[in-house]
Amino acid sequence: MAKITHGLATSHIPAIGAAIDLGKSEEDYWKPVFAGYDWTKDWIKNEGKPDVVILVYNDHASAFDMNLIPTFAVGCAEQFKPCDEGWGPRPVPIVEGHPDLAWHISQCLVLDEFDMTMINQMDVDHGLTVPLSLMFGQPDAWPCKIIPLAVNVVTYPPPTGNRCWALGEAIQRAVESFPEELNVQIWGTGGMSHQLQGPRAGLINAEWDSRFLDRLVGDSDELRHVPHIEYLRETGSEGIEMVMWLIMRGALGEKTRCLHRHYHVPGSNTAVGHIVLEPEE
Amino acid sequence: MTVDIHEYLAEFEDIPGTRVYTAKRAREGYWMNQFAMSLMKAENRERWKADEKAYLADWPMTEEQRQSILDRDYNRMLDLGGNIYFLAKVFSTDGLSFVQAVSTMTGMSVEDYKAMMIAGGRSPIGLRSKSTGD
């Protein structure tokens, strides 16, 4: 039987991808950003190695333009190519999907009353590839299969925190009914506090971010009930991406234990946050 | 939990220095954003760089919207329905990073903006709500 063994969360800042691709990760500016991922990079190569990652991210007007705005979309294809976001595609491996598990999850979710969108052709942007680079470095091929789960956090309203958490719970049930033995991880990406627009751009709220990280651990489900307006006021307009972390959290069951945690300001315009969780029985 | 959509949307207007990308903005800026998306193709970027005005003429947007794009006035583009993730294709084509482009919306120089970020970013104090001043 497949099982969700761990949940990871990380920011997916495009400049981090550029720093890796251009060999700048040893520069003073970037060192403290990357240092916080050393533990995870080592762990994920060894005891933390997944067979499949369900990677929750948002598309930044790359695969989806204003013609299609799916709230939750599951990538069911064999492969997903890195897309050209305006400066050419990132030099990273093609993302290999897991269509059997992706379709299994999609079917289960629809029967569980989550009306998912299924995608068979989709290029993936920095939202998906930067987390892979952060955890796996620069391999010739990604070491596991990846199921993209794209969430609309661009056009309002995005899904509520509560809905994201509940979707996570349903994903856990779906994974556990897949007959093959698989170690599955779920990653929530985006955030933490940042605002990329208007005169208030550059907003960072380390105190709020820290309380958010605290509440991902243990048996609290308080974060289910944080309204959109709180993310907007407290963490900047793009801080709303943190609702995607709640899909990850919901998929870990009632209680979690923290294996690793990292926070650094700034990565470009953004507060860099990263956490590794495991379900606690 | 049922949310009143009118109250939900009205609260967004209370946030200082921020345009939340609502359906209303998305409709107004539809062609601006679709134009920006077209710059994801290398051949379109070449045509755009060769003659920006001619390229914009192919997209059914208002003169105000066209002008804001030609001026690279990102606050104005946002006012007219642009979304930053779409507009990122415009500044990426110009060779600008997010930090460089975003700083132009704040009235700060790139250097001052970068220094603010390195010092921990902009504090939310006083910038949470227009009505309460929190």
Q: Report pLDDT digits (tens) over B72-121.
A: 999 999 999 999 999 999 999 999 999 999 999 999 999 999 999 999 99
Across the interface, of B41, B85, B107, the residue whose CB is closest to A199 is B107
CB within 8 Å: B122 and A202: yes
Residue A217 amino acid letter: V
Structural domain contains residue B130: no
pLDDT interval class at A84 (50, 70, 90): confident
Across the interface, of B107, B113, B124, the residue whose CB is closest to A203 is B124
pTM over 0.90: yes
Across the interface, of B11, B121, B124, the residue whose CB is closest to A266 is B121
CB contacts under 8 A, B 9-38 vs A, are 9, 11-12, 15-23, 26, 30, 33-34, 36-37
Q: Which residues on chain A are in Cβ contact (under 8 Å) with B93?
A: 86
Residues in chain B: 134
Q: Does B40 touch chain A if contact means CB atoms closer than 8 Å? A: yes
Structural domain contains residue B2: no
Q: Does B44 touch chain A if contact means CB atoms closer than 8 Å? A: no
Residue B2: is its pLDDT beyond 90?
Answer: no
How far apart (Å, rounded) are the C-alpha atoms in residues B68 and B76? 6
Structural domain contains residue B75: yes
Q: Domain total for chain B? A: 1
For the residues A231-248, what does the mean pLDDT come to? 98
Q: What value of ipTM does the predicted structure carry?
A: 0.96
* SS3 state of residue A55: strand
Give pLDDT, residue A88.
83
Q: Which residues on chain A are in Cβ contact (under 8 Å) with B21?
A: 154-156
Structural domain contains residue B7: no
Tokens 């067979």 belong to residue: A51
Structural domain contains residue B17: no
pLDDT interval class at B1 (50, 70, 90): low
Counting one residue from A and one from B, how many pairs have CB atoms under 8 Å apart? 157
Largest CA distance in chain B: 53
How far apart (Å, rounded) are the C-alpha atoms in residues B35 and A55? 29
Residue A86: is its pLDDT beyond 80?
Answer: no
User: Would you give the end-to-end CA distance of chain A in angstroms?
Assistant: 18
For the residues A91-99, what does the mean pLDDT come to? 98
How far apart (Å, rounded) are the C-alpha atoms in residues A243 and A168? 11
Tokens 């981090």 belong to residue: A16
* Domains located in chain A, CATH noted: 6-198+207-226+237-270 (3.40.830.10)
Q: Which residues on chain A are in Cβ contact (under 8 Å) with B18?
A: 195, 197-198, 200, 232, 237
Give pLDDT, residue A146.
98
For residue A9, CA distances in Å to A6, A128, A227, A275 come to 10, 12, 20, 5
> Which helix or strand (DSSP H or E) is residue B20 part of?
none
**Domain ranges, residue B94:** 22-118
A139-176 pLDDT per residue, tens = 999 999 999 999 999 999 999 999 999 999 999 999 99
Q: Which residues on chain B are in Cβ contact (under 8 Å) with A71?
A: none
How far apart (Å, rounded) are the C-alpha atoms in residues B65 and A73? 31
Strand partners, A52: A145, A184
The whole-angstrom distance between B78's CA and the closest CA on chain A is 8
Yes or no: say if A83 and A125 are a contact pair by the CB < 8 Å rule: yes
A4-26 pLDDT per residue, tens = 999 999 999 999 999 999 999 99
pLDDT interval class at A64 (50, 70, 90): very high
Tokens 């929190």 belong to residue: B134
Give pLDDT, residue B77.
98
The DSSP symbol for A193 reads S
For the residues B56-74, what does the mean pLDDT come to? 98
Give pLDDT, residue A87.
76
Residue A106, both tokens? 């999609």
pLDDT interval class at A68 (50, 70, 90): very high
B19-48 pLDDT per residue, tens = 999 999 999 999 999 999 999 999 999 999
Percentage, residues of chain A above pLDDT 70: 100
CB within 8 Å: A61 and B88: yes
User: Domain of B32: which CATH number?
Assistant: 1.10.700.10
Structural domain contains residue B62: yes
pLDDT interval class at A281 (50, 70, 90): confident
Give pLDDT, residue A85.
82
Structural domain contains residue B70: yes
Other CB atoms within 10 A of residue A31 CB: 12
> Which helix or strand (DSSP H or E) is residue A229 part of?
helix A228-235
Residue A81: is its pLDDT beyond 70?
Answer: yes
For residue A258, CA distances in Å to A170, A209, A219, A278 come to 22, 16, 12, 7
How far apart (Å, rounded) are the C-alpha atoms in residues B109 and B111? 5
Tokens 């899909």 belong to residue: A247
Tokens 């990850």 belong to residue: A248
For the residues A250-268, what does the mean pLDDT come to? 98
Q: Name the residue among A280, A266, A153 with its Cα closest to residue A209.
A: A266
Across the interface, of A85, A155, A160, the residue whose CB is closest to B92 is A85
CB within 8 Å: A202 and B102: yes
Q: Distance of alpha carbon A253 from its chain centroid, rounded? A: 17
Structural domain contains residue B133: no
